[in-house]
């Protein structure tokens, strides 16, 4: 069985060398390494050219003349795959040495499975381990996981990553949706797991780098829009489920969307002082998941900032 690994990269020169070296250090060496640079301006193309010159029979470099976005970058990488199986590592992440070997063994032991994934370690900007996706002993879904993928019912409400997939199967289902700049991985995994089985390796075999800063209001609203699009697009895939199971999936998604809307409401106040948009997000949050109702937040939204802050100061003096 042959394996290709692809690396999508955009202005990640500081980490790209680690990502490439982690693929070269695999105990089961891949047959192909594809590196797609999405028009970086930080010198990443020179790094890629250097590795390609050193490993001409292994590395396939692809350079975008203009920025095309994460989904199209992944599609271009997958279209260049020549192996039977493929996986990826983003330009700021790392694979651990046994990743390909352990997941390939799992697929060989489970011939019905077409997708293998494993536990993921979290690292900070300096590469220090800060945690992991699934806690020790935590049950991670495997086998038929379509329900869990659609409902985002995985550890930390985060889906698996760095999966190893049978390429003919992947081509049959279709790669990423190029219209998505957010949640393109979730949308693709919904379609893939609708038809195909998975297997899980209970071992940390890759590392995901978490950068500081968190989400901004703009990013939260983009994530919300992408999430709503993914749900609308793939709801027809629920048609063959019974009504009760469909209701469970949609209820779990409402909880997820509700929390995102509430976070967006807070950010609209704190970052933009936009009470109108904050109110719209708050109302959506409560409709989606009524336990998110928050009287203090609602008062903060409805009152002008100077009035709300004045009331707070008075209340603090009374308490003091």
Domain locations in the chain as residue ranges: 3-209, 217-319
Q: What is the pLDDT of residue 1?
A: 87
> In tens digits, what is the pLDDT along the chain, a chain of 320 residues?
899 999 999 999 989 999 999 999 999 999 999 999 999 999 999 999 999 999 999 999 999 999 998 899 999 999 999 999 999 999 999 999 999 999 999 999 999 999 999 999 999 999 999 999 999 999 999 999 999 999 999 998 899 999 999 999 999 999 999 999 899 999 999 999 999 999 999 999 999 998 865 556 678 899 999 999 999 999 999 999 999 999 999 999 999 999 999 999 999 998 888 999 999 999 999 999 999 999 999 998 988 755 555 555 645 555 55
What CATH number labels 3-209?
Answer: 3.90.550.10
In angstroms, rounded to a whole number, what is the distance separating the alpha carbons of residues 281 and 264?
6
Distances (CA, A) of 47 to 15, 56, 94, 145, 199: 11, 14, 17, 38, 35
Token pair for 94: 């790392």
């Amino acid at each position: 069985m042959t394996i290709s690994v692809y690396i999508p990269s955009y202005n990640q020169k500081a980490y790209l060398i680690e990502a490439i070296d982690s693929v070269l250090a695999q105990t089961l060496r891949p047959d192909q390494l594809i590196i797609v640079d999405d028009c970086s301006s930080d010198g990443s193309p020179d790094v890629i050219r250097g590795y390609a010159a050193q490993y001409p029979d292994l590395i396939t470099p692809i350079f975008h003349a203009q920025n095309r976005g994460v989904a199209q970058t992944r599609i271009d990488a997958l279209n260049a795959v020549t192996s039977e199986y493929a996986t990826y590592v983003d330009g700021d992440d790392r694979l651990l040495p046994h990743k390909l070997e352990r997941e390939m063994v799992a697929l060989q032991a489970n011939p019905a499975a077409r997708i293998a994934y494993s536990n993921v370690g979290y690292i900070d900007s300096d590469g220090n381990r800060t945690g992991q996706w699934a806690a020790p002993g935590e049950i991670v879904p495997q086998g038929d996981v379509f329900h869990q993928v659609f409902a985002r019912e995985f550890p930390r409400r985060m889906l698996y990553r760095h999966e190893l997939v049978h390429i003919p199967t992947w081509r049959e289902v279709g790669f990423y949706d190029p219209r998505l700049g957010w949640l393109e991985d979730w949308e693709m995994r919904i379609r893939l797991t609708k038809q195909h089985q998975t297997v899980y390796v209970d071992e940390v075999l890759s590392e995901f780098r978490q950068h500081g800063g968190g989400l901004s209001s703009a990013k939260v609203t983009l994530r919300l829009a992408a999430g709503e699009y993914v749900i609308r697009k793939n709801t027809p895939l629920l048609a063959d489920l019974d009504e009760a199971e469909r209701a469970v999936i949609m209820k779990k998604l409402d909880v997820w969307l509700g929390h995102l809307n509430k976070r967006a409401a807070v950010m609209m106040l704190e970052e933009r002082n936009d009470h109108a948009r904050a109110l719209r997000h708050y109302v959506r949050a409560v409709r989606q998941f009524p336990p998110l109702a928050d009287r203090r937040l609602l008062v903060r939204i409805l009152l002008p900032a100077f009035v709300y802050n004045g009331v707070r100061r008075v209340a603090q003096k009374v308490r003091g």
